[in-house]
Amino acid sequence: MKYVGQTGSSFRIRFRERFRDFKYGNRKSKFATRLLDNRHAIDKMENIMEATYVTNKGKLMDTLERFYIYRETKINNQINDKLTIKPTIVFQTVLQKDSHRGLTAT
């Protein structure tokens, strides 16, 4: 399952922060909280993190983050808070054309 998020930090710094929260049971980040609540394991940074899209922080990054959470929600493959993402006609239209993992909008 995936957790989708954005960062202005390097992956290495972001991973170290999240790993430390997970290891010590701190609930400072939503990522660590989701892992702890759902009893998920954590692996090496190289195995669990990937850049989906690179852009400057701002409205575009916020929209892309919401889209990728929505996309993973549609296939029940995310550990983000499902109540934060609402369907939009734009997201649904893009997914209809998305061949990623055979997704189709419903």
pLDDT of 106 reads 45
Give the 3-state secondary structure of 31-84: HHHHHHHHCCCCCCHHHHCCCCCCCCCCHHHHHHHHHHHHHHHHCCCECCCHHH
Can you give the pLDDT of all 106 residues of the chain as single tens digits? 788 888 888 889 989 998 999 999 999 888 888 889 888 888 898 988 888 888 888 999 998 888 988 888 888 888 777 666 777 888 888 888 765 555 544 4
Q: Where are the domains of the chain?
A: 59-102
